Amino acid sequence: SPTGDSWGIFTFLCAALCNLPALPALNCSEELGAGQSIQQTYDLTRYLEHQLRTLAGTYLNYLGPPFNEPDFNPPRLARAERVPSATVDLDLWRGLTDNARLAANYRAYSRLLCYLRVLDSQVGTAELRHRLAHFCASLQGLVLSIGGVMSSLGYPLPAGPAGSPVPPGAPAAPNDFLKKMDDFWLLKELQTWLWRSAKDFNRLKKKVPPAMVTLRLEAREF
């Protein structure tokens, strides 16, 4: 009868619940955490893009002409090569594995953060130092967030930069103009990295949606 069938199902469920401790452990995959972490990292990248637009304008005005002129587009000097370059062919970049792109982002922002902290210590105005310090704190958060994404996806963290970003014994800029050129290229590369990273994390979050949960049963003999 329907009543008997319902009672039988209820009895079976109770028995199953009572014996749950004896069942093999159910492990939620880290894809749920990865999806959430990717979304947060994407949001932070977009926030930093917005934040940098204001900071770059203020800093270039601080440097003065020709650095604050809209059509100023100098060639990259050899001195600027120490700053991680984002000028990689887009097809080549997209052809990398997720792990390789994440590792490149992690290393680049770690390095760029070191340069920005040096920049912050050299700025002469209190307001600009405050803005740089705030941006550095946000960028540090992005580095940690990228590390969290890598860990949740099971990728090893690359070794970060140690010490000063300037190699020991490297000569300082011989004049004020070249020093400003270094600062200009630092901001320019940072803008390009953030623009590309936003695209990276937007694609990645579509591959690992936040709501995805996978249950895995540990193998065991019965």
Residue 108: its pLDDT value, please? Answer: 92
Q: Where are the alpha helices (DSSP H) in the chain?
A: 2-18, 31-63, 90-94, 98-122, 126-152, 176-207
Write the Ramachandran bin of 27: left for phi over 0, alpha for psi from -120 to 50, otherwise beta: beta
- Residue written as token pair 């100023």: 72
Question: What's this model's pTM, rounded to 2 decimal places?
Answer: 0.74
| pLDDT tens digit sequence for 166-206 | 544 455 667 888 888 888 989 999 999 999 999 999 999 88
- Model confidence pLDDT, tens digit, residues 82-95: 777 776 778 888 88
> In the prediction, which pLDDT does 159 show?
72
pLDDT computed for residue 21 by the predictor? 39
The whole-number pLDDT of residue 80 equals 60
Domains in the chain (CATH in brackets) are: 29-161+173-207 (1.20.1250.10)
Q: Which of 171, 184, 170, 168 is nearest to 119 (CA)?
A: 184
Q: Over pLDDT 90: what percentage of the chain? A: 43
**Sign of the torsion formed by the C-alpha atoms of 205, 207, 211 and 215:** negative
Which amino acid, residue 64?
Answer: G
For 191, residues 6+ apart whose C-beta sits below 8 A from its C-beta are: 49, 52, 56
More confident residue, 76 or 109: 109
pLDDT of residue 35: 86
* Residue-level pLDDT at 122: 80
Q: For position 81, what pLDDT does the model report?
A: 65
Q: What is the mean pLDDT of residues 3-7?
A: 48
Per-residue pLDDT of 96-148, as tens digits, reads 999 999 999 999 999 999 989 988 778 878 889 999 999 999 999 999 999 99
